Structure 1
Amino acid sequence: MAVSLRVTPRQAVYLAAAQSFARELRVLPRADGDRRRGLAGTTVGSDLP
């Protein structure tokens, strides 16, 4: 699975730091029309480019 994220530069720094310390990152898939924010998500492997 590949994903693209729209984040601010500051958020990108946090994501890069989190990835360097974690074995996996989790991405929250959104239903159509859902604009809420949450913490749970789908596991994405580290084999992405």
Structure 2
Amino acid sequence: MVEKIRQACVQAAIAGFEQGRLDGLCEEGAVETAVSYIQKLNFDQLLRDDSRHK
């Protein structure tokens, strides 16, 4: 489960950073976008999905 959450955070951070840069943000703005993507993760859904696969 911890690995699944870590992977979700990494994927969200990468997606947010890339989107921020595509939107023309500076590096700091892209990092803020990455953090925002992580904050928007639905951990309840991750937990539900994980419990279904066991």
User: Does the TM-score normalized on the shorter chain lie above 0.5?
Assistant: no
Normalised-by-shorter TM-score class: 0.3 to 0.5
Question: Whose strand fraction is larger, Structure 1's or Structure 2's?
Answer: 1
